[in-house]
Structure 1
């Protein structure tokens, strides 16, 4: 696998994890509202690295940050990292009304600094979305998603906040429109059977978990997959949406449910597994 393929696999795995890697806000006053979660990602049995996510709920406002970088073995082949943050409030037509999203991706000696800004009124079907990037996107990338398909969408992290709220009752079914600055797609959630996960050297979780299937439905900006390509962010040759299975559970008594395991078999013809490896309850920020 080339370094470029490894980078694409790393980025797709990281973004796949963020689709539902956020805890629910919780309705009980005593429920933790500020958590740090650590996920170890394995590709073909080899540890790719650690993704850390921190989320905080204050009333009807949310803030979430995610950071990922290559593990020791992968870092010898590529210098890659990804960070992102989003904030907004609950409500609106999608269940969340994002205000701002920012990401920074690095690969070797290059970096891409991207921002999505949302105009008031927030959370409506007509909410305008502005995308900027340094360096600027190519003309093809800049026009890959028509302007009339961007209003009313949410960023991927905010979509995860909205989707996760549906899962506390044991039903994953939901659908969210996402625009990430390059592609327009819907994140579709469907319920799957529960399973019991035992604590091990890989995971800190021990208990029953709700099963979910996450599918990415392309709308605009997806290139056709090349011959023999399994790039997660391309349109599959058979037209089927790419996706992965996810299990969510409650690792902290009285706390929210969070993703505890991810399995995907559609990334470069190899199996990807993500384990919940760390859970920290943090004090509220000032």
Structure 2
């Protein structure tokens, strides 16, 4: 039977996977958009593990001309407060009809008294600089990250913005290249189905979710032995997207990560959108 330390480590890994999944699931540029990017998007998500509430994830993005800035903040408390994890994610760059083009990314998380951070800079070809704190060499068993692995990849936070470019035909038909500062991986999306939803507060938007299967494919920076008999089911991750036609975007509504000790789930509680014409849209569960 796993020790409490092992269980805590597994929970921490699951939370990193599904908070990362929501940010990295929609990176690939899609077809050109017909509508202008919204002025603002603010979202609050509830985090659960094996049915228990464990935390929240807040996301905010702002647009000014062709520039964007975005912030994500996560707070997790599990094992009756014995395990606490907080993280802040920031990103900036430019946007056009093809999608977001990241310029910078930062991530800082705290577990107990330990603080870890990642900083990355981008140029048009991909990652141009990486700064890790604390700085330590990769694990000797890890697959080496090569220069080619850093080309034409996207950081997790800017990926959340790229989902706005999805259309009904391509939203669940993509292979997503991701680099988070340590690991390079692909997220392979495929169509699973559609799901009707109910609204306590009608918005006039379609009451339907587009559900995508997401296969996590490690490329570099990982230890191969971790994927021989993984406790997370990397083939059955799901993300459910909701179309908001009035502003021409999709928003992530739910992320589901199955594991041998219970599913980690991120569910939207409230999403507020300010369109380019300042029209307000509020989605609430």
TM-score range, shorter chain: 0.7 to 0.9
- Paired position in structure 2 for 1:133: 132
List gaps (5 residues or longer) in structure 2: 277-285
Is 1:28 the equivalent of 2:35? yes
- The alpha carbon displacement at 1:260 in A equals 1.6
1:61-76 to structure 2, matched below 5 A, reads 61-71=67-77, 73-74=78-79, 76=81
Residue deviations 1:157-209 (CA, integer Å, cap 9, x gap): 22343344124556421223212121111222222211101246xxxx98111
- Paired position in structure 2 for 1:116: 120
- The alpha carbon displacement at 1:20 in A equals 4.1
Residue deviations 1:36-63 (CA, integer Å, cap 9, x gap): 1011121111012111111223333332
- Paired position in structure 2 for 1:247: 240
Query: TM-score, normalising length from structure 2?
Result: 0.78
- Paired position in structure 1 for 2:21: 16
CA contact (8 A) 1:129 1:151 kept: no
**1-structure distance, mates of 2:182, 2:68:** 24
Work out the number of aligned pairs and report it. Answer: 263
- Describe the shift of the 1:252–1:77 C-alpha distance in structure 2 as closer, same or farther (beyond 3 A): farther
Please state whether the residue corresponding to 1:7 is helix, strand or coil.
Answer: helix
Query: TM-score, normalising length from structure 1?
Result: 0.77
CA contact (8 A) 1:64 1:86 kept: yes
Mean CA deviation greater in 186-195 or 132-141: 132-141
Is 1:276 the equivalent of 2:268? yes
- Paired position in structure 1 for 2:90: 85
Please state whether the residue corresponding to 2:226 is helix, strand or coil.
Answer: coil
Please state whether the residue corresponding to 2:161 is helix, strand or coil.
Answer: helix
Residue deviations 1:62-91 (CA, integer Å, cap 9, x gap): 3221110114x5561112111111112236
